[in-house]
Amino acid sequence: MKQGTKQLIIQTGSLVAGFMVWVLISSLMPFIKEDIPLSSTQIAWATAVPVILGSLLRVPIGFWANRYGARILFTISFIILLVPIALISYANSILMLILGGFLLGIGGAVFSIGVTSLPKYYPKEKHGFINGIYGAGNIGTAITSFATPVLANSFGWRTTIQIFLIIVLIFAIINFLLGDKKEHKVNNSAKEVIKEVYKNPKLWFLSLFYFITFGSFVAFTIYLPSFLVNHFGLDKVDAGLRTAGFIALATFFRPVGGWLGDKINPFLILMAVFFSLTFAGFLLSFTPSLPIYSFGCLLVAFFAGIGNGAIFKLVPFYFSKQAGIVNGIVAAMGGLGGFFPPLILTILFNWTGHYAIGFMSLSEFSLASLVIVVWLYYQEKLDISAKIVNHAVDGICLTDINGIIQSINPAFTKITGYSKEEVIGKTPSVLQSGEHDNEFYKKMWDSLKSKGIWEGYIWNKRKNNEIYKEWLTITAIKDDAGETKNYVAMFNEENKRSKE
């Protein structure tokens, strides 16, 4: 078995185990509150607190995964997780639940390990799909949501939690024995890497997008069990099964989103994602009947899953050299996106008696993200056009309708010797060699005005007064009404053309 495939299996399985542990409290909350008296606000805090460390720790873990490798990070993480699991199984107060839940967040933080480690084993054109498969490890939350209510009915919630001690210990051993000891490691300075990326707006845009997509996934995962029981009066096992269905759907479509990101522009995928989440949030904000509410949740699961996969195609694409720290930051923002909604929903419900404003915030944040994605999509096209112009071997000069130079490319400077600062705001007459009479230029302008194009040989003069012959093409750029707005000139030296 190839090392990449082997590590994909081990690390995805490890993520499954980590996410299984991460949502233990929220999945068992309907049982826990029967033994430990809790208010609705305390329940919200107890279920949300694991997300805090699970989010914030993703930043250093992503960096450490690059420096020390996945084997060491997974092994240490699972050994530490034994402590909060044991603590929660003996909890008898909200304080013990919150303390154990905070440390339980390590189970969610391990996400940063695989998205940093696994791309090292595969070419870029497969990164979206590979990270999507790895990200499907969040099926662990579905397993816990499905299995723990059934186990708790039979053995009690404390014994159910203790079962997870065995699972975590097994994966600590697997990683220690089978993890890749020779994984390529990057020994960068954290301070220097952060300096390189924090001013890049794409980092924060991707963080916002993941804040919405993964945040909504986490928020629904930890909030649905209690919400379905309290608001719709469902049986605890039924609520767990429905939550597991939500998680399974989001998980299944995560690798689909990564695969689509490898095949087509990820920004097009994110447009569909945020448009649909805008509609879903609007639908859920009216707290409709259970069937309509279920449809809204499934819509969130479907498009949040696809969005999660597509976003982590973009991270290594833009930040291949700083993948560890960037993966950590983006993943952390996604985790925090799951921390705030349950608290906000509870507070708003206590104030207003309904959840409309809370779910509407999902819609509004998604709409704002849609606008940003559309802008980034067209900005990307403009960047590509600019790169084509800047790397062209022909000199290019753009003027307004009056012939005033607006911009030039590097080849213009290379051929003529004039820098951008020396010609912007002037006319191309700075290049005139004196070899042509006024009639020559009059015919040039007549052709441009009547046909919209002129081309031919012309003698021009460089900044050092050297006269040279070039082949020049001038084209009129018109708007939708057919009015000329600019002229673009492209030229190359005749002697270079002859050599080619």
Element (H, E) at 110: none
How many domains in the chain? 2
User: Which of 360, 388, 416 represents a domain boundary (last residue)?
Assistant: 388
CATH of the domain at 431: 3.30.450.20
Name the packing angle between helices 201-232 and 40-56 (round to 10°). 150
Whether residues 42 and 120 fall in one domain? yes
**pTM for the structure as a whole:** 0.64
Residue that finishes a domain, picked among 388, 421, 440? 388
Please give the average per-residue pLDDT across 320-339, as a whole number: 72
Q: Give me the residue label for tokens 């705030």.
A: 340
Taking CA atoms, 358 is separated from 27, 219, 231, 324, 339, in Å, by: 22, 12, 15, 33, 13
Of 29-38, 166-175, 178-187, the poorest mean pLDDT is in 178-187
Instruction: Tell me the CA end-to-end span of the chain in Å, nearest whole number.
Output: 50
Q: Are residues 380 and 396 in the same domain?
A: no
Chosen domain end from 355, 388, 421 = 388
Question: In whole angstroms, how far apart are CA 400 and each of 17, 128, 493?
Answer: 62, 43, 24
Q: 323 and 188 share a domain?
A: yes
Per-residue pLDDT reduced to its tens digit, 331-354:
778 777 766 776 676 777 677 766
- How large is the average pLDDT for residues 85-97? 92
Q: Which domain holds residue 471?
A: 392-499
Token reading at 201 = 């707006």
With bands split at pLDDT 50, 70 and 90, how would you rate the model's confidence at 324?
A: low
Residues 146, 211, single domain; the answer is yes
Q: Are residues 350 and 422 in the same domain?
A: no
C-alpha–C-alpha distance, residues 377 and 202, integer Å: 12
Judge if 57 and 173 occupy the same domain: yes
Residues 268 and 408 in one domain: no
Q: What is the largest CA-CA distance in the chain?
A: 100
Return the structure tokens found at 355. 């959840």
CA 308 to chain centroid? 7
Same domain, 151 and 18: yes
Tell me: pLDDT of 85 over 70: yes
pLDDT for 189 equals 65
- Comparing CA positions, the residue from 84, 135, 144 lying closest to residue 112 is 135
**Does residue 263 share a domain with residue 126?**
yes
| Same-domain status, 52 and 181 | yes
Tell whether 149 and 89 lie within a shared domain.
yes
Q: Is the dihedral of CA 294, 296, 299, 301 positive or negative?
A: negative
Residues 283 and 418 in one domain: no
The tokens describing 296, both together, are 């809204």
Which of 11-20, 223-232, 370-379 is predicted least confidently? 223-232
Q: What is the pLDDT of residue 355?
A: 67
**Where residue 176 sits, what CATH number does that domain have?**
1.20.1250.20
Residues 398, 487: contact at Cβ < 8 Å?
A: yes
